[in-house]
Structure 1
């Protein structure tokens, strides 16, 4: 009987050692992942400091970028930009600000928030804005595709695509609710509450 107890205790000890080793390995992997994530966050924090954002503004912007990325996917390429693939991206403004902050002083001219719809300079784009009068963050859509609408209040849009191109807006059930006039066309007060998807072409 005593021999059984010693044997059982030994098995328990070996099991404890094995489980502890596994737990330590998992913790090491988690720590490594957290370290990588922290380094990325530090990059964004450095960008925020460089463009003079307060701590509260940085948190608000980061929260909004993460919310939009969770809905739209894509790759976050800097503090306020999500690349959606191709020539499509989302530029996110600090909540309450008129337009996304310009990061060109930090990351070079190519990183500046560039609105291809403003001023009608470039053809081929449809831009959907977070706020009325072409303000706030915006999605710049170039490739013909369906784009999820991350905003749910009132915004605006500018259809600066090839002459005559129309964009279509769909509700949550996939029903077509509105078709824009042909490009060039725009709406400075557009209700986003019912819009779930935009097909820009």
Structure 2
């Protein structure tokens, strides 16, 4: 066999080996994020038509661009790496948020036990920022909103002004305010 044929055979074997190694890694990758197709299907399962699903996706895309979060459900954005702080968006034509996926999907109350929630409008209407563990999250809303502290009684919601100074601490859970002034609130923590 000539040296050229030997080199070509070796190169071919190397390429085949590389392809064989790469194929199983791609086929077994379970860390990939859900696709837009999956989110669209989830929106349709929630009763949205194609136009409403597209509108919801535009809203999610805008919030992802603003917050730097990542989409984890048709109407949910993780604001941290572990999805312990999330933004839940209302569906087109609805005033209140509802879960479409995960363990809370079956709960009628969007602020399930253990969570603290902040809303841009009175009476728990509009999108929601849901917090499960301590850590400040920015408040993007102004005007009169609302909040629910559905954590255990020894956990409080802490409201910080726009310069980061603690301004008020809620009673331990369960506590709520259906008409809370949010103009002064820059950050909220659930601790």
Q: TM-score category by the smaller chain?
A: 0.5 to 0.7
Aligned-partner Cα distance in 2 for 1:103–1:146:
25
> Structure 2 CA distance, aligned partners of 1:52 and 1:86?
25
Which deviations, in whole Å up to 9, do the C-alpha atoms of 1:86-141 show, x marking residues without a partner?
Answer: 5332221125513235535xxxx6472754635xxx2x321112322123322221
Change in CA separation of 1:63 and 1:195 when aligned onto 2, cut-off 3 Å = farther
Q: Which moved more, 1:55-64 or 1:146-155?
A: 55-64
The 2-side partners of 1:162 and 1:44 are apart by 32
Distance (whole Å) between structure 2 residues aligned to residue 195 and residue 96 of structure 1: 28
> Which position in structure 1 is the counterpart of 2:117?
127
1:167 aligns with: 157
Unaligned runs of 5+ in 1: 1-38
Number of aligned residues: 155
Name which one, 1 or 2, has greater alpha-carbon Rg: 1
Which structure: greater helix fraction?
1
- Gap change, CA 1:166 and 1:185, over 3 Å in 2: same
Match of 1:77 in 2: 72
Query: What SS does the aligned partner of 2:126 have?
Result: strand
Q: Which structure 2 residue ranges, 5 or more long, are not aligned?
A: 1-33
Cα distance between partner residues in 2 of 1:192 and 1:128 = 10
Report if the CA contact (8 A) 1:60-1:94 is conserved: no
Alignment-derived partner of residue 8 in structure 1 = none
49-58 or 153-162: bigger deviation: 49-58
Distance 2:38 2:162 in 1: 36
Give the equivalent residue in structure 1 for 2:105: 112
TM-score scaled to structure 2, two decimals?
0.65
